[in-house]
Structures are given as structure tokens and as C-alpha cells.
Amino acid sequence: MDYLPNLADQTRLFLLSLGFGFALGVLYDLFRVARLLTGRSGFVALLTTDILYSVCCTGLSFFFFLAVGDGDVRLYLLGGEILGWLIYYFSFGTVALRLSEWLVRTIHRITRILIHIFTAPFLRFLHFMEKISIPLRKCGVSLKKVKKNLHFGLHSTHDMVYNGNVKNVTKMKGTIGLAKQHRQAHRGAKKN
């Protein structure tokens, strides 16, 4: 264990910390792209992603200093890390930001097109149903009346239930009883 590393080791460690800072800049852009993809650009979203990024950087820096500097936090390592991050942010970061914004816009366009492709048949069907219902309403025919008249042709007997609706069967039994009485009276009138 060296307490005072020589100049070659310091240069090597400084260059490693410079590269690590550069990698932390790339990580920052990944967080930025995730924020752009979710579409959240408010203060709370920015604060949340920045806190998560800070926690990740702190943990990664701890392991970096532990692995490279034997757990010693040296000022030139910290300076190299910050300088690497700044180099990335002001050089490649601006290009990465434009590229990521273009990528996010392209992804949003593709998802809108896919959503339109999958929902278009349903929207056409709803539009067709709306076109049909407008003339029916103008004629005074409501959907309730149409639904009520759908059961017009059904005849109920004592042992058969249509659509499992017992309430309609009891109504129908009463009307069937009246219809039988009417038929018997009509037959009796024909015989006389």
C-alpha cells in the first residue's frame, strides 16, 4: 500500500477518473431520455430523476474510489471525475440531447401511427353506428323501442323460458291466458 503514489500512477488514476466522469455524463443522458420518453417535464419529474441520478452517481463513485484508489478519496480523482462529466456534457452531451429528442419524437410518431392503425376499425364501426342511429332518431324510433320490439315474435309456453327472464314469462302467461280466453270466445261465437 502506497501512501504517496508516483506520478505515473497518479496520471493513470486521473485518466481513469476522467473516463468515469465521462461515463457518468452518458448515464445522465440516459436519465434525460427516460424523462423525455415518459413525457414528464415538470418540476417534480425533474427533481425525481435528478435525485435518482445523484444516488446512482454517489454509489458508483464510491465503488470506483474503492476499486481504483483503495478506498482513498483523492482530490485529483474527484476533480478528474467532475472534469470528465463536464467534457461530456458540453461536447457530446449537446449532440446526444438533440439526437435523443429526435429519437423520442420518432418513437412517439411510430406509437401514434400504430395506435391509429389498431383503433381505426373500431372508430369506423362507431362512426357507422352513429350514422345509422341518427336517421332512426329522426323517425322517432329509439333504441329502447327497437330493443323492446325484438321480443315481439317470441311465444311463451308454460314450460319454456326465453332468455331466462322469469318476469317476462309471468307477463306472457297473463297475456297467453287472455289470448286463450279470447280464442275460446271467438270459437264459441262461430259455432253459434
pLDDT tens for each residue of 74-112: 888 889 999 999 999 998 888 888 888 888 889 889 988
pLDDT recorded at residue 191: 56
pLDDT tens for each residue of 112-148: 888 888 888 887 887 777 777 766 666 655 656 655 6
Report the C-alpha gap between 163 and 151 in whole angstroms.
Answer: 10
Asked if residues 83 and 19 have their Cβ atoms less than 8 Å apart, the reply is no
Report the C-alpha gap between 9 and 43 in whole angstroms.
Answer: 43
Asked if residues 35 and 49 have their Cβ atoms less than 8 Å apart, the reply is yes
Q: What region does 2 belong to: left with phi over 0, alpha with psi -120 to 50, or beta?
A: beta
Closest CA to 81 of 69, 99, 98, 94: 69
pLDDT tens for each residue of 41-64: 678 888 888 899 999 999 999 999
End-to-end Cα spacing for the chain = 129
pLDDT recorded at residue 135: 65
Report the C-alpha gap between 29 and 92 in whole angstroms.
Answer: 10
Report the C-alpha gap between 1 and 114 in whole angstroms.
Answer: 60
pLDDT tens for each residue of 164-182: 554 544 454 455 555 555 5
Distances (CA, A) of 77 to 19, 24, 56, 61, 149: 11, 14, 18, 10, 85
Q: pTM for the whole thing?
A: 0.54
pLDDT tens for each residue of 11-29: 888 899 999 999 999 999 8
Checking if the pLDDT of 185 tops 70, the result is: no
Q: Which of 70 and 98 is assigned the larger pLDDT? A: 98
pLDDT recorded at residue 169: 47
Amino acid identity for residue 52 in this structure: L
